[in-house]
Structure 1
Amino acid sequence: MQIADVRAALAAAAAAVVLPAGVPPLTCTGYVPDAVTEPHFFTAEVEVAFDAAMNRSLDVLEITCRVLVGRGDDRSSQKILDQLLSGSGPASLKAAIEAARGAPGEYALDGAAHDLQVMRVQGYRWYEHGTATYVGAELVVKVIGDGSS
């Protein structure tokens, strides 16, 4: 399992969200950008647990992803963020990312991993990124895959 491929595939999956009319589309990157175009989803920290099964057959990644929303109006920004963090609905990042699991028996993330799960949301707060401040949160995604590739 190649971390760069997993990160890129997570960003591509997140891009499938549909935000309400009048809200710019979600921009998504598989890396931490220097500057964000809001609203923005990106993959950030990666924790790797090697050898979850014998002979390098399984590694486990926990990838912290961030979503940042502009703060033009505190209340409306948080309403947008709440939709992105919901467990279901057209703007749900959980639903969009987990749709990339594939059908039963298929690999997840277009073949980059065996399976994934959006485990939790954390850190709902103000974030400084670059020279700007955004309201945002983190999503922790667990990804499992072949450790030998």
Structure 2
Amino acid sequence: MQISAVREAIADAARAVVLPEGIGKLTCTGYVPDAATAPHFFVAEYEQDFDKAMARGLDELTFTSRVLVGRADDMAAQRILDGMLAGSGPASLKAAIEAARGAPGEYALGGLAHDLHVMRVQGYRWYEHAGSTYVGAELMIKVIGEGN
């Protein structure tokens, strides 16, 4: 798998999120940005397990992604974040990202991987990023694909 292309494809999938009117559009990057324009989703660190099948047949990656929401109003920011962390709905990051799995029998992320799965949310808390404070959380995304 081409890691950079996978990261960008995850960010592209997250752009399908529809936030409530008046919130603005979710900005998304496949990398950790120098500065975040809230609300912002980005793919951060990853872990890679090689050789899950013989002859470099399969690798498994677990991406840590983050979503950050501005904190002009603490309660409103957390409501926006909660919507993005929901398992379904127009603002759901899980639903948007997993839509990139493709139809049955198709490769995920436009052919970059065999499959992907948004496994869990963790770290719901205040984050400091580039000198600003946001409410946010991490989404753990598993991607499997060819190792060669």
Under a length normalisation based on structure 1, what TM-score does the superposition of the two structures give? Answer: 0.99
The root-mean-square deviation of aligned C-alpha atoms, in Å, is 0.3
Matches within 5 A, 1:42-121: 42-121=42-121
Cα distance between partner residues in 1 of 2:112 and 2:75: 38
Cα distance between partner residues in 1 of 2:130 and 2:70: 13
Q: Which runs of 5+ in 2 are unaligned?
A: none
Shift of 1:3: 0.6
Identical positions, percent: 72
Shift of 1:17: 0.4
Shift of 1:4: 0.4
Letter of the 1:18 partner, please give it. V
Q: Which runs of 5+ in 1 are unaligned?
A: none
Under a length normalisation based on structure 2, what TM-score does the superposition of the two structures give? Answer: 1.00
- State the match for 1:135 in structure 2: 135
Shift of 1:126: 0.2
Local SS of the residue matching 1:60:
strand
Shift of 1:74: 0.2
Cα distance between partner residues in 1 of 2:42 and 2:36: 9
Shift of 1:116: 0.3
Which stretches of structure 1, 4 residues or longer, exceed 6 Å deviation after superposition?
Answer: none
Letter of the 1:14 partner, please give it. A
The count of aligned residue pairs is: 148
Local SS of the residue matching 1:55:
coil
Local SS of the residue matching 1:56:
coil
